[in-house]
Amino acid sequence: MAAYVIEQKDGQGRVTLEGDLTAITVPELQAALRKVLQQGASELEFDLTRAAILDSSGMGLLIAAANSLAPQGGQVRVTNVAPDIFRLLQGMRLTTRLNVSRRA
């Protein structure tokens, strides 16, 4: 079973993680995102509602996605982030770059 669901509409992509974003999930998701970017998505939202942990591989994927979108003026948004993951991204100085918002 895939560990994520990708939806696309009007140049907006939404990736809903079904669990953690870590080294084990990154390679498959990376390949899927390449296709989404080739189809012209200008904005990507990563919904981390179900993620309890994010490791450096997961961070790398988010940064790579932001880097791919930046030349066209696009951006990444990381939403519904758990408090521990938010503190981690804050410590890594990535909350602005990745437009991170906390879980309500």
Partner 1 sequence: MTASRRPAPPALCETIPSCLGQAEILCRKIRGWMQGAGLGESCFAVELLARESLVNAVIHGNRCAADKSVRLSLRVGRKWIRLQVADEGEGFDWRKAGQKKPDATTSCGRGLQLYAMYAGRVRFNRKGNRIELWMAKARGR
Q: Applying CB under 8 A, which residues contact partner 1?
A: 22-24, 52-53, 55-57, 59-61, 63-64, 66-67, 84, 88, 91-94, 96-97
Least distance from partner 1 to the Cβ atom of residue 9, Å = 26
Contact present, 45 and 14 (Cβ < 8 Å): yes
Q: Which of 43, 40, 46 lies closest to 26 in space, CA to CA? A: 46
Instruction: Give CA–CA dist 88/36, Å, rounded.
Output: 27
Least distance from partner 1 to the Cβ atom of residue 19, Å = 10
Least distance from partner 1 to the Cβ atom of residue 25, Å = 9
